[in-house]
């Protein structure tokens, strides 16, 4: 490694104070800056947050179904899996809604991290952003981030009461979590796609080919 490269990296480490505990004054300064922050100009978002969210989700090639309650979640999942001719084998993460779902015998459910061989994962969103149709997913002990990226099909359950108007609303809610921010916050807008090669859209480049949303109302 050249001396110049060493000098640059050392300057970055010193600036970040890598490995050093932040001083109370530094923490206080950061917290004061965050609490005093104000939202910039925000786009108008109509009052029908659920439909706005679903429309934005569909606009980026996601699919969705709105259901009236938790009892309708397994049938909705079965309909989706049948439509895409996928096996009825799910990886399931943790969530307030998911933990109470009664899975029928014809759906195989496992709770573990995903691998590249897995076809379908189902997660519960922390919240949704109506402004952009974005889903917010948090990591946790049984909320594996690998579910968000490795299987070809990702099904996400969203409580309709947790759809926020703007992105700033989400960060304010996250900062108020009693245990602090989780290690990973994923903002997901539609299935994975890219048009890097010859301007031809390809799905599944960096994540799931299909993203199906089940919005639980009531």
Q: Which two tokens stand for residue 195?
A: 């048009």
For 107-120, how does the pLDDT look when each residue is reduced to its tens digit (9 = 90+)?
899 999 999 899 99
For the chain, 218 residues long, give each residue's pLDDT as a single digit of tens: 567 888 887 877 777 665 566 778 877 887 788 777 777 788 888 879 999 999 999 999 999 999 999 999 999 999 999 998 888 889 999 999 999 999 988 889 999 999 989 999 999 999 999 999 999 999 999 999 999 999 999 999 999 999 999 999 999 899 889 988 899 999 999 988 787 777 777 777 788 999 999 999 97
* Global confidence as pTM: 0.82
HEC-encoded secondary structure of 185-199: EEEECCCCEECCCCC
Q: Which two tokens stand for residue 180?
A: 């602090």
Q: Give me the domains of the chain, ranges plus CATH numbers.
A: 1-37 (no CATH), 46-216 (3.40.50.10420)
In terms of C-beta density within 10 A (0-12 exposed, 13-18 middle, 19 or more buried), how is residue 109 classed? middle
For 90-99, how does the pLDDT look when each residue is reduced to its tens digit (9 = 90+)?
999 999 999 9
Predicted confidence at residue 62, as pLDDT, reads: 95
């Amino acid at each position: 490694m050249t001396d110049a490269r060493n000098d640059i990296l050392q300057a970055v480490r010193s600036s970040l104070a890598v490995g050093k505990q932040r001083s109370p004054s530094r923490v206080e300064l950061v917290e004061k800056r965050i609490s005093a922050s104000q939202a910039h100009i925000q786009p108008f978002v109509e009052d029908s947050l659920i439909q706005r969210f679903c429309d934005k989700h569909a606009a980026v090639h996601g699919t969705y179904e709105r259901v009236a309650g938790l009892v309708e979640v397994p049938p909705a999942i079965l309909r989706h899996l049948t439509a895409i001719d996928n096996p009825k084998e799910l990886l399931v993460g943790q969530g307030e809604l998911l933990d109470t779902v009664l899975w029928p015998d014809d759906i195989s459910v496992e709770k573990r991290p995903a691998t590249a061989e897995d076809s379908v994962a189902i997660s519960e969103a922390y919240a949704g952003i109506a402004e952009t149709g974005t889903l917010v997913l948090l990591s946790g002990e049984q909320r594996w981030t690998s579910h968000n990226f490795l299987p070809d099909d990702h099904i996400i359950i969203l409580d309709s009461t947790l759809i926020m108007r703007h992105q700033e609303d989400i960060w304010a809610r996250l900062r108020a979590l009693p245990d602090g921010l989780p290690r990973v916050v994923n903002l997901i807008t539609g299935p994975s796609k890219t048009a890097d090669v010859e301007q031809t859209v390809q799905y599944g480049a960096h994540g799931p080919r299909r993203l199906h949303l089940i919005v639980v109302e009531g």
